[in-house]
Structure 1
Amino acid sequence: MKALAPAALIATLFAAGAAQAADPVMGDWMTSTGSGKVRIAPCGDKLCGTIVWLKKPLDAKGQPQKDEANPDPKLRDRPVVGLTLIKDFRQATQGKWVDGKIYDPQTGKTYASKLSPNPDGTLKVEGCISVICQAQTWKRAN
């Protein structure tokens, strides 16, 4: 009987990982303006999204775009590509993620956020200040 316990544990972990991987929010998404691509993936028991591509990756001097609007001066020199844009989302139900944060590198502001798939296969990304929310629609990247 004890020999079956590790096999059962491995099967349970595999099933949990497969269910999370099948979540419709996971994957690569183009932002609403088409200026960037964000990869949404698990990070521990939460969900995060990293900028993996920019339409204009270089600044006027030919250098990689930097996080210049960040309120922390120590972080203003980090590149935008590779930046964690969304973090700390917890799953409410399959495909619906809440209690997260979204960072806007253009303004340096961070907003409360939630994510959910739309019936047409796009992604609804909401950023909120207090009870006022603004939504964007992201399209799945090819």
Structure 2
Amino acid sequence: MKNAIAISMFLTVGFAGIAGAADYDGQWARGDGNARVSIAPCGSDICATNTWIKPGTPKEKKGDRLVMTIARGADGSYSGSAFDPQRDMTYKLTMTVNGNRMTTKGCVVAGLICRSVEWTKVVDTAKQGL
């Protein structure tokens, strides 16, 4: 049960590296409105780093990072593993990106305990000249 709590805590936070910009790169807002993450390459892996946490959100903080080792599947989704150094846990991870929407699913205990989270890509209006 502790694993279920830990996975829900981080996946509500929030992912062999893939070269170049991918459709998951960028800023993402969690569906519950309590967090934003930046997803980008970090060394040979991909990192999801908290860039904003709603004040009062327990056990989450700006700067927490999830290190992902993922590969793109034939169907356009990504799968692999994610390591959470804050909790010293590794999750089985799948990500599905469809335009400005993303769903992440993390599992522990041989896939018996899973949690899915919806995300929306954050549009940077300054870069669009707005």
TM over 0.5: yes
> Which has the larger share of helix?
1
Q: Which has the larger radius of gyration?
A: 1
Greater RCO (Cα-Cα under 8 Å, separation 6 or more): 2
Percent of pairs with identical residues: 23
What stretches of structure 1 move > 6 A for 4+ residues in a row? none
Aligned residues: 101
One-letter code aligned to 1:35: N
- Structure 2 residue runs of 5 or longer lacking an equivalent are 1-17, 124-130
Q: TM-score, normalised by structure 2?
A: 0.62
CA-based RMSD of the aligned residues comes to: 2.9
Q: Secondary structure at the match of 1:131?
A: coil
Paired position in structure 1 for 2:47 = 48
Pick from 61, 64, 67 the counterpart of residue 87 of structure 1.
Answer: 67
Taking the aligned partners of 1:52 and 1:46, their CA distance within structure 2 comes to 18
What is the Cα deviation at residue 32 of structure 1? 2.1
One-letter code aligned to 1:96: S
Change (3 A) 1:123 1:51: same
Per-residue Cα deviation, 1:16-61 (whole angstroms, up to 9, x for no partner): 95xx21x1111100112110100000012211110001121xx5xx
Alignment partner of 1:96 is 2:77: yes
Taking the aligned partners of 1:46 and 1:98, their CA distance within structure 2 comes to 13
Paired position in structure 2 for 1:3 = none
Taking the aligned partners of 1:89 and 1:32, their CA distance within structure 2 comes to 23
Taking the aligned partners of 1:89 and 1:97, their CA distance within structure 2 comes to 10
Taking the aligned partners of 2:32 and 2:70, their CA distance within structure 1 comes to 26
Q: TM-score, normalised by structure 1?
A: 0.57
One-letter code aligned to 2:95: L
Alignment of 1:52-131 (within 5 A): 52-56=51-55, 59=56, 67=59, 80-84=61-65, 86-93=66-73, 96-101=77-82, 103=84, 110=89, 111-118=91-98, 120-129=99-108, 130-131=110-111
Paired position in structure 1 for 2:120 = 139
